[in-house]
Structures are given as C-alpha cells and as structure tokens.
Structure 1
C-alpha cells in the first residue's frame, strides 16, 4: 500500500478529520456518508466490515444506526481515534476495531452482510487482489470509491504525501469483471475535487457545491467528476 509510513504517524491521525472534514470538507463528509448508506441500505442488525476505517467516521455512523460493525485499519493511531469516537457516541459495544491487512482478512467466507472500503483503492497496489478478498468475506455487497484519472484531481495529485492511484471507469469495470462480480450501480460526483473544498470555509464552499451538483446532473457531469462510487453484488 502507498503512503503507509505517513498514514500511520500519530500526528496525522490526530489532525485527520480537522484537516479534511471541517469547513468545506463537511460537504464531502455528508456526501460520502449518504453514498455509504445508499449502497448498504437499512443497516440495523446487519454485520458490516469497514476496510481502512481510519478514525471511524463511517464505522460509528453505521453503529449508531444499529449495525454490528468491524473496523479494520493498518494504523494503531487511527484506530485509537476511532475507539475514542465510538465511546463518545455510546456505540463502543457495537464496534470491534482491528489492526490488519485488507489483503489477508482474518474472517471466513461470507462472514459479513456488506463490506465498505472508502478512501482505500486510491492507495491499493493490487486493486484486483484486494477486491477479490473483500468480496470473499461479503455475502451481499461490496461498496468502494475511486478517484478519477481524467478529472481536475490530476492538477494536485502529485503533491499528496501518500500519492494516489487514479482510475478510469473502464478500469474499474474491468476489475469488477475480473473478480467475477456484478456491478449493481455506479455514481460519479465532485467536479471540483476534494482538495478545492477543503481550502474553503463552509459558507463559501456551499455555493460552489450547488454549481458542482448542477453540472453533475447534466450529460457531461459524469465525464467531469473526480470521484466515483461503486456498488458491487457478490
């Protein structure tokens, strides 16, 4: 995986959400959470695995809605932040946080109803292998996102400390087919890439998001999007 040393640094974990999901980043957080819930549907009583759970943004959200969640990450520092968040939210009893490798998951086949992997595949050095492993432990659904290679993200991707793998739609569809899975749905969003929104106060970012959404609803919107959300049937 790319950027493992940077990602596991304590200082990165402590500032992770403040840097990415405050100000205009709140719009990103809101959209991503909606995408996850749209993909997995009603979660109460379901068993869900989150890959690269980080500080527990989605893990805690799913537990608050009644899911039994396992969050897996390579960073002890990130997992510490996630456990603290779960305790503050009162859902620590519904979440198990584990340090581990997504390429060798310690679970039997079909163990989870759904597997969620957000902000993961842009770091994957073997995306086909990871997708097969995620599908192995999922009984119904795998949901993940990718960054788009033909988008404005290419303007700053080189400067990111952990790098970022960018995908075309054809490449992702090929990965899904190679893993012998069925693509249920694909959604594309954010003409203005994430880095743009993070630089803006929330009040300033909101009008840009309105423009962004309007463009996204046109025929050319999908071709300009910087992020894609993929829901796969196992």
Structure 2
C-alpha cells in the first residue's frame, strides 16, 4: 500500500483533520457524514465496525447516534486521536478503537450488524479479499465509498501520498457480484477535486458546491462524480 509508513506517523495523525477538514474541507466532512448517516439508517442498539477508522470522526458520530462501535485502523497514532475525540464527546463507553488488519479481522463470524469502510477501498490492491472478510463478520450491511474514473481525481491522483485505486460503476458492481453482496443503494458527489475545496474558505466552498450541484444531479454529473457512496447487503 503506497504511503503506509507516512500514514502511521504521529505528525500526520496530529495534523490530519486540520489539513483535510478545516476551511472548505468542513463541507467535505459534512457531505460524507450525511451520506453515511443516510445509508446506515437507524443505529440504536446496533453493533457497527468501522474499518480504516483513522481519527474516529465517523466512529464517534455513529456512537452518538446510538451504535456500539469498534473503530479499527493500522495506525496507533490515528487511533490515539480517535480515543481523545471519544472522550471529549463523552462516548468512550460506546466506541472502542482497536489496531488491526482489515484483511484478518479479529472478530467472530456474524459479529456486527453493519460495517463502514470510508476512505479505504481506494488504498487496497485486492478489494475482493477484504470484501469477503467483511462479509464474514457482518450479518447485514456494508457502506463504503470509492474514488472514480473518469473524474477530476484522475488528473492528480498520482501526486497523492497514499495514491488511489480508481473505480467505475461496472468495476464496483462486478466486485460485489464476485464477493456475495447485493447493491441496495448508491449516490455520487463532488465534480470538483477535494483539494480545491480544502484550499478555499468555507463560505467560498459552499458557493462553489451550490454552483456545481446543477450538474451533479444529472446523468452526466453521476458519470463524472469524483466520489461514490455504496450501500450493500450480504446476499
């Protein structure tokens, strides 16, 4: 995995959210959380695993919505940030952070009601392997995102520290068929690059996002969206 060592450093963990989800990046954070909340629905009393939990921005949100959450990541430094976030929100009793490998999940079969894997599938060379392992531990639902081709991300993808595997709609559907999932729903977002939104103030980002929304909700907009959110069920 490109950038694996870079990702696990304490310096990257400490600056991660500031660099990605401040200024216009707050718009990205909002859109992703809305997509995840919509896809997972009512979580009260549910057991949820978040893979690639990072600094815990989704894990803590899911715990606040009533789920019992385990956030798994390869980076101790990232998980430390997540624990701080959970303590600050008063949710340490509802969310646990565990270091582990998503290809060999340390949980029994059918242990979770749902699994969330955001900012993950673009990093891995063999997604089928991970999808089968996720399928083993969940009884119902997987929600994940992909970065897409063709899209604006294709232009600068090779420059990114972690790189990206890019997908099109047929890639994802074939992958789900091979690994025993049924597509429940999907949505698509962001025609313009994330990097552009992060570089500008939130007020400008909101205005730019409204301008692109006219195209984004058309067939052409779906075809060229930078990111897609997928909600799938175990078949």
Are the equivalent residues in 2 in contact too, given 1:48–1:113 (CA < 8 A)?
A: yes
Matching residue of 2:162: 162
- 1:219 and 1:114 mapped to 2: Cα distance? 30
- Structure 1 segment 35-114 matched on structure 2, within 5 A: 35-114=35-114
Are the equivalent residues in 2 in contact too, given 1:50–1:72 (CA < 8 A)?
A: yes
Matching residue of 1:117: 117
* DSSP 3-state at the match of 1:143: strand
Are the equivalent residues in 2 in contact too, given 1:2–1:125 (CA < 8 A)?
A: no
- 1:220 and 1:92 mapped to 2: Cα distance? 43
- Tell me which moved more, 174-183 or 1-10: 1-10
CA positional deviation for 1:154: 1.2
Matching residue of 1:228: 228
- 2:199 and 2:32 mapped to 1: Cα distance? 18
Matching residue of 1:188: 188
**Residue 19 (structure 2) pairs with residue 24 (structure 1):** no
Q: TM-score, normalised by structure 2?
A: 0.98
CA positional deviation for 1:219: 2.5
Moved beyond 3 Å, runs of 4+: none
Matching residue of 2:141: 141
* DSSP 3-state at the match of 2:50: strand
CA positional deviation for 1:212: 2.0
CA positional deviation for 1:136: 1.3
* DSSP 3-state at the match of 1:229: strand
CA positional deviation for 1:215: 1.1
Q: Which runs of 5+ in 1 are unaligned?
A: none
- Structure 1 segment 201-216 matched on structure 2, within 5 A: 201-216=201-216
Matching residue of 1:14: 14
CA positional deviation for 1:187: 0.9
Q: TM-score, normalised by structure 1?
A: 0.98
CA positional deviation for 1:163: 1.0
Are the equivalent residues in 2 in contact too, given 1:51–1:72 (CA < 8 A)?
A: yes
CA positional deviation for 1:26: 0.7
* DSSP 3-state at the match of 1:97: strand
- 1:171 and 1:2 mapped to 2: Cα distance? 21
* DSSP 3-state at the match of 1:156: helix
Query: Cα deviation per residue 1:71-103 (whole Å; 9 max; x = unaligned)?
Result: 000000000000000000000011111000000
CA positional deviation for 1:149: 1.7
- 1:141 and 1:213 mapped to 2: Cα distance? 29
CA positional deviation for 1:188: 1.0
Query: Cα deviation per residue 1:158-215 (whole Å; 9 max; x = unaligned)?
Result: 1111111111111111110000210111111100121111111101111111012221
